Structure 1
């Protein structure tokens, strides 16, 4: 895991309060009820503040950002 991955995982942990989230990088965060729509918005704001990457909530389908690995990929695409 590289530094960028860990920084994104740390943001997700801060929002979800699930310290083991990095161990389940392909689990659907919404289906597992770890993240809801409000948490997703909070995460997008945190990503913008931390990385300067702006992702509008309407820009992606939920299925495009529903796992830790997909969130990491979306941020990497925009850096």
Structure 2
């Protein structure tokens, strides 16, 4: 399973946004994510990747770009 492809697909499905050309752009500033959207995305990530995202990992600065989300998932998979 390719984490990048899955995450981009989830963001597209949940928020109807293709962020593949803005991997390092702040998704909150771009209007893609908000607090409720973050919760939705984390629930999808936990289900899809069979991981638990600790609340301490969910800070805006920690998961505010597609690349940071992908890296965060990879770190949790390898923990």
TM-score by length of 1: 0.88
Residue 5 of structure 1 deviates from its aligned partner by 0.8
**How many angstroms does 1:41 deviate by?**
0.2
Give the paired residue count: 76
- Among 44, 47, 58, which residue is 1:46 paired with? 44
Q: Which runs of 5+ in 2 are unaligned?
A: none
Q: What residue number does 2:35 align with?
A: 37
Deviating 4+ runs (over 4 angstroms): none
3-state SS of 1:21 partner: coil
Give the TM-score taking structure 2 as reference length: 0.88
The equivalent residue for 1:25 is 23
Name the SS of the counterpart of 1:64 in structure 2.
coil
Shift of 1:69: 0.2
**Residue ranges of structure 1 left out of the alignment (5+ in a row):** none
RMSD: 1.3
